[in-house]
């Protein structure tokens, strides 16, 4: 029987649509993992986290179960309730974006001026 990890590897290599969908889901997966880690390190369950945040347990279940898009304010409240600090970062993408045509035209004009003088 084929393992799920083997199927994932095959689909990721051979399927551009699968790869794009998987890559697009990574930030949400990382966020959910961070939420679970914060709660786990605080040694509390969903019920206690909900109590500390003043919300229903079902809202915590949605946060941890891919069924919500939490705001920065909600994430800050999770951090406060778990005794952690919220940290958001942007890292360089492996792909370098193509310059826009405006930038390319400006650079070309600048180079023409340098050669003309």
Residue with tokens 């949400």: 28
Residue 116 lies in a domain: no
Residue 32 lies in a domain: yes
Residue 10 lies in a domain: yes
CATH code for position 42: 1.10.260.40
Is the pLDDT at 104 greater than 90, yes or no? Answer: no
Tens of pLDDT, residue by residue over 85-102, are 999 999 898 776 666 666
C-alpha pair distances (Å), 18 with each of 12, 24, 30, 32, 33: 6, 10, 18, 21, 21
Residue 63 lies in a domain: yes
Residue 103 lies in a domain: no
* Tally of structural domains, the chain: 1
Residue 104 lies in a domain: no
Mind giving me the DSSP string for 18-36?
HHHHHHHHHHHHHHHHHHH
Residue 43 lies in a domain: yes
Residue 50 lies in a domain: yes
Tens of pLDDT, residue by residue over 56-90, are 999 999 999 988 899 999 999 999 999 999 999 99
Instruction: Give me the domain span that covers residue 39.
Output: 4-90
Is the pLDDT at 106 greater than 80, yes or no? Answer: no
The verdict on pTM exceeding 0.85 is: no
């Amino acid at each position: 029987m084929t393992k799920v990890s083997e199927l994932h590897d095959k689909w990721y290599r051979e399927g551009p649509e699968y790869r794009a969908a998987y890559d697009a889901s990574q930030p949400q997966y990382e966020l959910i993992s961070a939420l679970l880690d914060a709660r786990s390190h605080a040694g509390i369950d969903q019920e206690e986290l909900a109590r500390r945040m003043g919300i229903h347990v079902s809202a915590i279940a949605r946060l941890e179960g891919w069924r919500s898009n939490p705001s920065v304010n909600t994430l800050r409240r999770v951090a406060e309730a778990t005794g952690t600090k919220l940290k958001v970062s942007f890292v360089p993408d492996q792909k370098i974006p193509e310059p826009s045509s405006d930038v390319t035209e400006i650079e070309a004009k600048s180079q023409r001026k340098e050669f003309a003088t």
